[in-house]
Structures are given as structure tokens and as C-alpha cells.
Amino acid sequence: MLTCKEFLAELSDFLDEQTDAEIKSKLERHISECPNCWVICDTTKKTISVYKGMKTCTIPEDVHARLMAAVERKAAAKKV
Amino acid sequence: MFLHAAGPGNGYGYSPAFAPPANTWENGNSRKMATESFTLAAAPEISEEAKAELELVNRAREGDATAFSTLIRQYEGKIFRLAMNITQNREDAEDVLQESFLKAYEHLDQFQGNSKFYTWVVRIAVNQALMKLRKRKSDRSVSLDEQIDTGEDTVIREIAAWDPDPEIQYSQKELSGILTEAIDGLLPIYRTVFTLRDVDGLSTEETADVLDLSVPAVKSRLLRARLQLRDKLTRFFKRKGDDAFAYM
């Protein structure tokens, strides 16, 4: 059985489904027997999920306008 | 016991050794200058989306301002969010946004087309943002590549199960405030890696490439970032009535 420390070291790869089959089955066995690590795994997965669901911010219109004006100035200078 | 409380002196430091290359687009052999337009035939495995993007880049190179505007529209939100995450300052973030796209425009002929346009621009943006941070902290420079694998910042302060859909208890605005505050509480190395990898959806390899870090370094920082955010969010998302308890 893996220790909690070993489990935690593999947690990211486990959540990203980047572990090989043998390690994956050891990790699954560990969380089925360790309630603390099960909670950590579940809540870390949800952490990633809520951030993935974050909408890309629409940038303020004035910021966009200044950016476009700067690019247009650069484009005009390039043509000269 | 394997989890430690974070000490004030551990983790991310500031290294004068770090100096992002001024000419980001010329950094390393993999980014040799490509002065010719990238041809679609050179990459037969390319996706439809990437093809369309390369076409935009090629048109922009030929002076089509609308094509470059389309690229800006596509990525300005993500670049601005990343710049806000790194600099935590709106004025700096706006500067980073503008400088990144201006540099990209100026050096479009050096975009090789063997990576996504976004990863090319975001690399410029990360370096611009780090330079802003270094300027603000004038007595120290900011490093992303410092050895920090001490284990001291793998913090698990409490464990409590969350509601199945914790985010639905909050309005979109409240949720956004909670998530932003949690990210802002991370050190720059962690919030940058987390934003690129988990928010923007770059692969581990792309993140490593953008930040000039090794893949193991990205993975190590990502794990710490995820665990620290988990810890911060537990305060908001834990199931009502459950007591949080310290780990071990």
C-alpha cells in the first residue's frame, strides 16, 4: 500500500490521467482505503474544475480601444 | 506526518540571476528566425483550427490589419487575465497586454508556426509581466526557475468534503471574486504555472516551453499550486455541517 506522501506526489498526474496502469491501480486502492486522501483528491479535482469553468474575462472596452490604437500606430509606422 | 505548515521564509524567492531574454522570439535553437511565411503543406497533421490561425498570421504578415485584429480579439482576454494574475495590477496588466501584441506584430515574421500562436504570444506576455514585477520590486528580481522543491509549501491545513457542486451556492460575481482572491494569494511561480496549465489549458510541455522550465519543474509547481488553492477554497466550499480537520 502506498503511503499518503507517495499518493500526494502522484496526485497531479493521477488527476491528469497521466499515470501508467500499475501506478493508477495503486493510487485507486490507496484512496479507497484512506478517507483523508480521498477528500484531498476529490476537492483538488473540483478545484481544477471550477477554475476551468472560469470565463475568460472580456477586457474593458477602453483597454481594447487603446490596444487597437497602439497597433494601428505601429502598423502605420511599419508602412512608412 | 508529511505535510508541513508553510514557513514565511520558504518557497519562492527572488533571484538576480533570472533575466528574461529581451528578444524572447529569438531565444534558443527551437526559435530560430523564420522569415518566410509558414506553409500549410509543411505540416500535414495540423488541425483545421490551427490552419485557420496560420492563415490569419500569414495575412497579418502581409499587412492585413483585419487579420491581426482577429488574432487580438481571440486572445486579448486570456493575455489580460494572465497579466493580471502575474502583476496583480491593472495598469501593469494593460501595459503587458499592449507591449505583448505590439512585439508580436513587429516580429510576426519570426513566428515559425510549429507552435500555437497563443503559446508564442503568451511567452512574450509572461516575460513582459515578469519584467513589470521586477521593476516594482526594484531591489529584487523575480525568478520562475529557482529551486523550490523543499516540500515546505505543500500545505494541507484542513480537510473537509465539499458540496458536490460547490460553485452553485455563489453568484457568478461572488465566485469570480473567490477564485481570483485565492489565485492572488499564491506566489508568482505558482499562479503563473496554474493559470497557463489549468485555466488556459496549455499542456504541461507547452507550459514548460513558455516558462523555460523543465517538465518536472512545471509538474512540481502545478501540484503545489493546486493543493494551495484547494486549501484556500475549502473555506468557502466545504459541506455545511462538516467540521474541517487537520491532516494527520
Distance of CA A59 to the CA centre of its chain: 22
Whether residue B1 lies within 8 A of chain A, CB to CB, comes out as no
Q: At what angle do helices B117-136 and B90-106 cross, to 10 degrees?
A: 130
Chain A window 11-70: which residues touch B at a Cβ cutoff of 8 Å?
11-13, 15-16, 36, 39-40, 42-44, 46-48, 50-54, 56-59, 63-64, 66-68, 70
Q: For Cα atoms A62, A64, A66, give the angle at the middle one, nearest 5 degrees.
A: 70
**Structure ipTM:** 0.90
Contact B166 A56 (CB under 8 A): no
Q: Report pLDDT for B143.
A: 54
Where do the domains of chain B lie, and which CATH numbers do they carry? Answer: 43-136 (1.10.1740.10), 143-248 (1.10.10.10)
The single residue listed with the C-alpha cell 496588466 is B93
Q: Report pLDDT for B38.
A: 43
Contact B94 A70 (CB under 8 A): no
Q: For Cα atoms B214, B135, B123, give the angle at the middle one, nearest 5 degrees.
A: 35
Parts of chain B with a pLDDT under 70: 1-46, 137-157, 241-248
Which positions ≥6 away from B52 have C-beta within 8 Å? Answer: none
Whether residue B198 lies within 8 A of chain A, CB to CB, comes out as yes
**Distance to chain B for A24, nearest Cα, Å:** 17
Where do the domains of chain A lie, and which CATH numbers do they carry? Answer: 4-79 (1.10.10)
Q: Report pLDDT for B157.
A: 67
Q: Which of B67, B81, B112, B5 is nearest to A60 (CA)?
A: B81
The single residue listed with the C-alpha cell 480537510 is B159
Q: What is the mean pLDDT of each run of 10 residues along chain A (80 residues)?
A: 91 95 96 93 94 80 92 80
The dihedral region occupied by B186, where left means phi > 0, alpha psi between -120 and 50, and beta the remainder, is: beta
Between A13, A50, A74, which is nearest B105 by CB?
Answer: A74
Chain B window 124-163: which residues touch A at a Cβ cutoff of 8 Å?
154, 156, 159-162
Tell me, what DSSP letter sits at residue B7?
P
Q: Is B186 exposed, middle or buried (0-12, 13-18, 19+ CB in 10 A)?
A: buried
Contact B98 A39 (CB under 8 A): no
Between A15, A51, A75, which is nearest B65 by CB?
Answer: A75
Q: Report pLDDT for B91.
A: 93
Q: Annotate A20-72 with DSSP letters as a single string.
A: -HHHHHHHHHHHHH-HHHHHHHHHHHHHHHHHHTPPPPPPPHHHHHHHHHHHH
Q: Report pLDDT for B216.
A: 95
Q: Annotate A4-29 with DSSP letters as a single string.
A: HHHHHHHHHHHHTT-S-HHHHHHHHH
Whether residue B102 lies within 8 A of chain A, CB to CB, comes out as yes
Between A12, A39, A71, which is nearest B68 by CB?
Answer: A71
